[in-house]
Amino acid sequence: MAEPQAQLADQTRSEAAGEDNLLVARALTKHFAHRGANLARRPTSVVRAVNGVDLDVPRGRTLALVGESGCGKSTTARLLARLLEPTAGQVTFDDTDITHLTRRDMRPFRRRIQMIFQDPYSSLNPRRSAGDIVATPLLVNSEHKPTRADMRRQVRELLELVGLRAEHINRFPHEFSGGQRQRIGIARALALRPSLLIADEPVSALDVSVQAQIVNLLRDLQRELGLTYVIIAHDLSLVRHIADQVAVMYLGKIVEVGSRDEVYENSLHPYTQALMSAAPIPVPPTERRRRTRIVLGGDPPSPIDPPSGCHFHPRCWKAQDICRTQDPPLSRPTSEIHPVACHFPGPPPAGRGPTSYPLALVRDS
């Protein structure tokens, strides 16, 4: 299952060795037993949520993992944070293989890898004050338990760092707006001075007007604290503002990965092109009317029974016989081009980039 992307791992390992990667995933795989409705609740099938994912996250940079709901992004995020055990594969953090560390051996890394969750409403305990919520990691994970005065000082500093006021320390979650609650979640994630933040859809539950404020906050914090980010997102306009690298995921696999400009300006995989065409990305008015909207037919297939060959073939307008039988490896078409998993990589219909080809509707057959 993990073989094609493991090939890329071999191919790119020497390149990656030259990079200062804080986080590296190789052939990361997670399968869940699916329990049917039988009386004994025995596993009846396997959900192939993540299949052989390779990722390199350079220190101090932002990698965005994008794709439709259910493609395996959030599972990948939890595997990277070691909140889930992988079925196979490896996660290396700061040159240490953390894949199978015991809970105790994982403790120093837990402090350095923190998560920000999607929903600022459900991720905060409504019965705890903002101060208590932000202080919890300090109490639970600090090597030396801080004094009460020291803890309140640290909490006030953290609240101010994320744009809240020190007097917010005694307020409860229901007294804050959605954006403020997400700021509390970010302050909690920063309490142990992590190196890596993994943010699962950090702004998708917020009003559009607030989203930009949180994105700007994340960017400022990255500059100030030298943080490394993995951002899980389906909103490509958000990703464009914050990502250095973009990995596109479809049905548990990375189908295209490159720098932000490579993926946005020169996407080569039909699925990426469809995602881009649906995103409200600002384009000059002269080009707006000529932008093609690629409408994919059908829903994403089930990860319980993925299609043969290229998993995207039932929805792809370029599919040919080979696509139905052979799974394309994630590889570079030429040494100058970023990796893509497609037998026929190339520019989108009309061949002049996703924001400039004539208005048309492309459907699968």
Q: By the criterion CB under 6 A, which residues form the site for ligand SF4?
A: 269-270, 310, 312-313, 316, 318-319, 323, 328, 342-344
**Shortest reach from residue 340's CB to ligand SF4, in Å:** 8
Q: Is 359 helix (H, G, I), strand (E, B) or coil?
A: coil
What is the Cα–Cα distance from 49 to 30, expressed in whole angstroms? 6
Among residues 178 and 333, whose Cβ is nearest to ligand SF4?
333
Using CB atoms within 10 Å of the CB of residue 84, give its burial: 0 to 12 exposed, 13 to 18 middle, 19+ buried: middle
Point out which residues pair with 24 in neighbouring strands. Answer: 56, 92
**Shortest reach from residue 341's CB to ligand SF4, in Å:** 7
Residue 231 is which amino acid? I
Among residues 61 and 318, whose Cβ is nearest to ligand SF4?
318
Among residues 70 and 346, whose Cβ is nearest to ligand SF4?
346
Q: Which two tokens stand for residue 54?
A: 């390779």
**Shortest reach from residue 175's CB to ligand SF4, in Å:** 49
Q: Which two tokens stand for residue 148?
A: 């009460």
Among residues 117 and 312, whose Cβ is nearest to ligand SF4?
312
Q: Which two tokens stand for residue 65?
A: 């993992």
What count of Cα atoms within 13 Å lies in the side-chain half-sphere of residue 202? 32
Helices of type H across the chain: 3-18, 73-80, 103-112, 130-141, 148-161, 178-190, 208-225, 236-242, 260-265, 270-278, 285-288, 321-325
How do beta strands 293-294 and 113-116 pair? Answer: unpaired
**Shortest reach from residue 328's CB to ligand SF4, in Å:** 5
What is the Cα–Cα distance from 190 to 207, expressed in whole angstroms? 23
Among residues 138 and 296, whose Cβ is nearest to ligand SF4?
296
**Shortest reach from residue 255's CB to ligand SF4, in Å:** 7
**Shortest reach from residue 312's CB to ligand SF4, in Å:** 4
CB atoms within 10 A of CB 99: 18
- Alpha-carbon distances, residue 15 vs 7, 20, 95, 105, 341 (angstroms): 14, 10, 15, 30, 19
Among residues 198 and 342, whose Cβ is nearest to ligand SF4?
342
Among residues 264 and 271, whose Cβ is nearest to ligand SF4?
271
Among residues 183 and 269, whose Cβ is nearest to ligand SF4?
269
**Shortest reach from residue 364's CB to ligand SF4, in Å:** 9
**Shortest reach from residue 180's CB to ligand SF4, in Å:** 42
